[in-house]
Amino acid sequence: MRIIDHVISGGAKGLTGSGRSHRIWNPSTGEVQAEVALGDAALLDHAVQIAKKVQPGWAATNPQRRARVMFAYKQLIEENMQELAELLASEHGKVVDDAKGDVQRGLEVIEYACGIPQVLKGEYTQGAGPGIDVYSMRQPIGIGAGITPFNFPAMIPMWMFGMAIAAGNAFILKPSERDPSVPVRLAELFLEAGAPEGLLQVVHGDKEMVDAILDHPDIAGVSFVGSSDIAHYVSKRGAAAGKRVQAMGGAKNHGVVMPDADLDMVVNDLAGAAFGSAGERCMALPVVVPVGEDTADRLREKLIPAINALRIGVSNDPEAHYGPVVTPEHKARIEGWIDTAEKEGAEVVIDGRGFSLQGHEKGFFVGPTLLDRVTTDMESYREEIFGPVLQIVRAKDFEEALRLPSEHQYGNGVAIFTRNGHAAREFAHRVNVGMVGINVPIPVPVAYHSFGGWKRSGFGDIDQYGTEGLRFWTKTKKVTQRWPDGGGDGSNAFVIPTMG
């Protein structure tokens, strides 16, 4: 059995961690393919002590030299894209093309981090007072940590450590124990790019390791992505320990479809946004809100053949639209939510329960599911399903459609489909959600902007990557200076030093 170990500089020096392990599935076959060693607080402290030694020298390295390492890293990721995508697909289950997108979106943040000399520049005011100048500088916080989810094992780690390390910090990554091989490979490539040994380390673990990270006094900042309940826990416990914390939680993104929308475009967008990556995305679009009964009926009529045409396959099937979900437990959870929706009164238009792929009957596959007549009092609407399930919630008018995402407990992303510029502008201005798409189903901002949701989708005041990411991983020092005229004898003579 292949064992996936920690990536700690110089090894663990006799530390064996917790002695526990977690099995890694191949979701396409339903077989266990590896195990990952789970660490403990002693293992984490070992990694932290190494990070404390290497971080000051890295912070003292000028920004352009740090940028050269990021450029070299970018090139290595591009050269190893196929390997990373296939490795990712084999553990997560998403198809290879989708896995390449996972790597690519993380790579875009690495590209942004290559410009660290520009984005690190501070501010300067000459003559703020009589003979007084004021300037600011951004300095690293020290040691950062990232706790990342299973659904984007390449993208989200790079969102975190790319900005943190470019800004001068050391970084300790705790990836999901469900698919840890790609984060390990990313750390190996970073060392190959010329980064100092110990600058980026990977520790594996479960709640025991998470708590160790949140409690360790030498870790200054923690970035987290996962479910909302755990995000809230991470936010509270990390803040109580005096850390800077950003914690991104769950989502229930809505897509409002106005009567004037291009329904063919909407259906094509929904096929990818609701079912791509088997719906295991916090920016998936699992709720569609047609405005008016006529719009709802027309949309449903077009959705049914489009959803039925989706091809489900193993992760390396180039013709598949999506692959299996990550574990047997998650498959059961998704099908349980479909059961719940049906019991609550939702109409099961297309039923993905019990789906079996010929030749891969033990794989963790869930067929695409379409639910209609979903209402806001249903638990299946209020909670995140995180699977290939699309729910239709019918709204009678624009105001009701606006209220649905605005009043939902989650506020990650939302989209509106319309040809009416006034309706789009009004919606974007008034909706109580952190990221808005106008005729864009998955409104994830590009790397030089920032990512973050509202309400129970995000805890903490600073978003991820872009200028917000730079703010999170740095602290601002403000300097007010005055240089008196003359020499030390009190005269007013202006003396220019000479070389002697």
**Burial class of residue 268, CB neighbours in 10 A (0-12, 13-18, 19+):** middle
Torsion of CA 308, 311, 312, 316, to 10 degrees: -170
- String of DSSP letters for 261-283: S-HHHHHHHHHHHHHGGGG--TT
User: 27 CB contacts (<8 Å, ≥6 apart)?
Assistant: 91, 92, 93, 315, 323, 324, 325, 326, 327, 363, 364
The Cα angle at residue 74 between residues 73 and 78, in degrees rounded to 5 = 115
């070992």: which residue's tokens?
46
DSSP structural state of residue 131:
T
pLDDT for res 500 = 46
CA-CA distance, 272 to 342, in Å (whole number)? Answer: 24
Q: At what angle do helices 155-166 and 63-79 cross, to 10 degrees?
A: 160
CA-CA distance, 467 to 11, in Å (whole number)? Answer: 35
pLDDT for res 414 = 98
pLDDT for res 19 = 84
- Residue-wise pLDDT tens digits, 227-253: 999 999 999 999 999 999 999 999 999
CA-CA distance, 151 to 157, in Å (whole number)? Answer: 11
DSSP structural state of residue 434:
S
Q: Could you list the active site residues?
A: 282
CA-CA distance, 441 to 283, in Å (whole number)? Answer: 9
Q: Are 411 and 231 in contact (CB under 8 A)?
A: no
pLDDT for res 486 = 63
Q: Give me the domains of the chain, ranges plus CATH numbers.
A: 2-249+457-480 (3.40.605.10), 254-438 (3.40.309.10)
pLDDT for res 494 = 53
User: 251 CB contacts (<8 Å, ≥6 apart)?
Assistant: 282, 283, 284, 384, 410, 412, 413, 453, 457
User: 460 CB contacts (<8 Å, ≥6 apart)?
Assistant: 235, 245, 246, 247
Do the bridges between strand 474-482 and strand 132-140 make them parallel or antiparallel, or are there none, so unpaired? Answer: antiparallel
Low-confidence spans in the chain with pLDDT less than 70: 10-17, 486-500
Amino acid identity, residue 230?
I
- Residue-wise pLDDT tens digits, 376-435: 999 999 999 999 999 999 999 999 999 999 999 999 999 999 999 999 999 999 999 999
Residue 377 CB neighbours (<10 A): 9
pTM score of the predicted model: 0.94
CA-CA distance, 10 to 58, in Å (whole number)? Answer: 18
pLDDT for res 47 = 97
For the chain, how far is it from start to end, CA to CA, in angstroms?
71
